Each structure stands twice: as structure tokens, then as C-alpha cells.
Amino acid sequence: MPGEGGVSYDSEKQGQVAPKVQESQEAVQTSSRASYALSSAQTSSVWGSERGPSRFGHRSSDMFSAISDILSKENDLIGRFETEMRNAMESHTRTDSENADAVHNIRGSMDESAQKGAVAHALARVNNSQEASALNAALAAASGFLGGSVAAGAATGAAAGAAAGVASGGDTEGTRNAPVQGQQKDI
């Protein structure tokens, strides 16, 4: 069950990756704080009051402030990613467990007679299908050169062989040797 359909949750790999996400988040947070500190350090006491250096100090402060803001938002995004991935993995694990329980319950509740009943219903649907009607019509049309009783016997044999094949899950003598359209069988 787990891992079917190309989707799986590998708790071992997740256990290895989760600390890396937290480390990344901490590194980005540290960088954001450092950028904010650099922004705050750009004061007139450092750059003086002359127009050029003062303006450069303000632009540096704006730049470090913008970088701090970007890193803070990046940190929020990493936090959202971590939360959403954790929720998705918990959901996946819960669904895997629920599916495994459901399959176990289904398998446990199907005894041999229930399985035979399901096969019998499937065979009845096959027998009453458009395809079966078309086969019977084709056999009736071919009865002129096959002989009426041979055509009826072939239809019955093909249906019985197909039914046995469905019930057993494989080919039977009836399905392997059934005549194919366009193929003439010596009688």
C-alpha cells in the first residue's frame, strides 16, 4: 500500500532533511538581524553631515533595511514551507494507515463465498453484455457454414471458457482454442 502510485513518504529521509530546514531558517533569521543591525549603524555620527557621505549613509541604511525585510519575508516563507510540508506528510502517513486498515478490513470481510458471488455477478454482466449479444449474432449468422448445433455449441463453449478464465484469472482450454473471427476451424 504505502508508496503505490508513485507517491510515498520516507520518514527516514524526512528525519534527515527536517533539521536542515530549521538550520536554513535560523541562518536566514540571523542574516536578517545582521542586516537590520547594519541598517541601524548607518548614523550621522558615522557618515558625518556632509551631503555626499550623509546621502551615501542613508542609501546604505535603506539598502540594509530592504535586505533585512527581504530576508525576514524569506524566513516567513521557509516557516510556511516547513509547516505545510509537515502537515502534508502527516496527512500522507494518516491516509496510508487508513488505506491499509481499509484494505485489511475488506480482505478480512470477503470470504470465499463472497468472492465467488462477486465472480458470478461479473460473469452475469459479461453474459448479458452488448459484446456477448454481438458474438451470439455473429455465430448465428455463421451457422449456415458452421452448422446450427456447432455454432450454438461454440457460443456456449466460448462463454463457458471465458467464464472459467475470468474465475481462475487465466486462460482455459475454451479461451485458448476458441475460434477467432476470420479463422476457419476444421471440423
Provide the residue ranges of all domains of the chain, joining segments of one domain with +.
Answer: 7-109, 113-176
Does residue 33 register a pLDDT over 80?
Answer: yes
- Angstrom distance (rounded) from CA 85 to CA 18: 10
Lowest mean pLDDT among 2-6, 49-53, 74-78, 113-117: 2-6
What is the predicted pLDDT for the residue at 1? 44
Q: What is the pLDDT of residues 117-150, one digit of tens each?
A: 666 777 778 778 888 777 777 777 766 655 555 4
DSSP 118-146: HHHHHHHHHHTSHHHHHHHHHHHHTHHHH
Q: Is it the case that residue 163 has pLDDT exceeding 60?
A: no
User: According to the model, what pLDDT value does residue 173 have?
Assistant: 43
pLDDT: which is higher, 187 or 26: 26
Judge contact between 53 and 64, C-beta under 8 A. no
Q: Residue 38 has what pLDDT?
A: 94
Query: How far is 36 from 70, CA to CA, in rounded Å?
Result: 11
pLDDT of residue 31: 93
pLDDT at residue 167, rounded to an integer:
46
**Contact 142/99 with Cβ under 8 angstroms?**
no
Higher pLDDT, 1 or 84: 84
pLDDT band at 37 (very low <50, low <70, confident <90, very high): very high
pLDDT at 171: 45
> Does residue 179 surpass a pLDDT of 80?
no
pLDDT value for 21? 84
Residue type, 128: N
